Amino acid sequence: MPTADMRGVVGLGSAYDAGTHIAPHAHTAHQIAHAISGTMRVTVHDFVWFVPTGRALWIPAMTLHAIDCVGPVDMRTAYLSRAYPLPHKDVRVLSVSPLMREVLIRLAEAQEQRLNILLADLLIHEIGEGKLESLKIPIPSDPRIAKLALHFQTAPDDRTTLKHWAKRLGYSERSLIRSIRAETGMTFRELRRLSRVMVALDKLSAGQSVTETAFDVGFETPSAFIHAFHTLIGETPGQFVGRSPMKRGENPVF
């Protein structure tokens, strides 16, 4: 692992089984973790970050985080010493360019220090230039609202109404509306829609069709799903899947 006062980088390739949980931990170095295949959910501070195939999570040094693997995950990680300039001051999900992907793969394979230093400079540039994606859901501090938010993620197709949730959680409808807003900055409907779209990322990244995914996560029609997805992600599900990285062996950079 590189020390904090000198530039250095260590690459690592890892494979995890579906359902693997990596307990909360922190690194003395900055970290960029890329999902070559599979999807991760990374808990950092008050958010769950979704990292599907073709994306990476930037984690500054000394940031406590935990990782859950949704399906089997093939990960490439680089640890950069704190001597490097920070491309981002806090946690971010990034789109991974073909160049960044190949740099991360090569860092996990290479043992040449001089080459690694050159690759690290290139990686820092790509991280700074990468497209930021807001793939996260807030974690409410109120246990009852947290229970609701978790249910939306584990059973996104559940259509239980606000009225019934209020009764289940011991709120009046008006109090539940206020509490959800205070804890998440969203309405009941907005939180459920966001959760459905985030869960859909896992399914799309695993190769599931848009139509099947739409119904699995609780949308009444594929068109309603596409509209919600585009509103929150900024592109259609087809465009999102289309930006998945090339397979190994297809015109690599190195």
Please check whether residues 25 and 129 belong to one and the same domain: yes
Q: Is 58 helix (H, G, I), strand (E, B) or coil?
A: strand
Last residue of a domain, one of 110, 133, 156: 133
Cβ neighbours around 186 below 10 Å, total: 17
Q: How far apart are CA 142 and CA 133, in angstroms?
A: 27
- 229: domain CATH number is 1.10.10.60
Mean pLDDT over the full length of the chain? 90
pTM exceeding the 0.75 threshold for the entire prediction: yes
Please check whether residues 22 and 73 belong to one and the same domain: yes
Please check whether residues 192 and 212 belong to one and the same domain: yes
Q: Residues 28-54: pLDDT tens digits?
A: 999 999 989 889 999 998 899 999 988
List the domain range (segments joined by +) for residue 115: 9-133
Q: Quick check: 59 and 44 in contact, CB under 8 A?
A: yes
- 91: domain CATH number is 2.60.120.280
Q: Residues 2-20: pLDDT tens digits?
A: 555 577 899 999 999 999 9
Domain count, the chain: 2
Please check whether residues 122 and 237 belong to one and the same domain: no
User: At residue 118, what are phi and psi to the nearest 5 degrees?
Assistant: -65, -45
Q: Residues 221-230: pLDDT tens digits?
A: 999 999 999 9
End-to-end CA distance of the chain: 24
Q: How far apart are CA 8 and CA 116, in angstroms?
A: 8
- Give domain status of residue 248, yes or no: no
Q: How far apart are CA 4 and CA 25, in angstroms?
A: 18
Average pLDDT over residues 66-76: 93
Last residue of a domain, one of 81, 104, 133: 133
